[in-house]
Amino acid sequence: MSIISNDINKAIEVLLQDEVIGFPTETVYGLAGNIFSEKAIDKIYSIKKRPSFNPLIVHLHSVHKLSAIAKNIPDIATELAKKFWPGPLTLILEKQENISCKITANKNTVAVRIPNHPKALSLLQKIPFPLAAPSANPFKSVSPTSAQHVYHYFKNDISFILDGGNCESGIESTIIGFKNEKPLLYRHGAVSIESIEKIAGKVSIITNNETNPDAPGMLLKHYSPKTKLILTENIFETIENNRHQKIGLITFYKEIISSSVQHQIILSKNKNLEEAARNLFAALIELDEMNIDMIIAERFPEESLGRSINDRLTRAAF
Domain ranges of the chain: 3-205, 228-317
Q: What is the CATH number of domain 228-317?
A: 3.40.50.11030
Task: Give the pLDDT confidence score for residue 213 in this predicted structure.
Answer: 86
Average pLDDT over residues 159-166: 98
Taking 80 as the threshold, does the pLDDT of residue 217 lie above it? Answer: yes
Task: Give the pLDDT confidence score for residue 214 in this predicted structure.
Answer: 83
Which tops the pLDDT comparison, 58 or 217?
58
Whether the bond between 86 and the residue before it is cis, its omega within 30 degrees of 0, is: yes
Give residue-wise pLDDT tens across range 30-47: 999 999 999 999 999 999
Helices (H) and strands (E) in the chain, counts: 10, 16
What's the pLDDT band for 104 if we cut at 50, 70, 90?
A: very high
Q: Was domain 3-205 assigned CATH 3.30.1330.10?
A: no
Type of residue at 281: F
CA distance 304 to 309: 9
Nearest residue to 168 (alpha-carbon basis) of 31, 25, 304: 25
Task: Give the pLDDT confidence score for residue 149 in this predicted structure.
Answer: 98
CA distance 203 to 68: 27
What 8-state DSSP symbol labels residue 222? -
What's the pLDDT band for 221 if we cut at 50, 70, 90?
A: confident
Nearest residue to 283 (alpha-carbon basis) of 258, 251, 246: 251
- Interacting residues of 108 by C-beta distance below 8 A, sequence separation 6+: 94, 95
pTM of the full predicted structure? 0.96
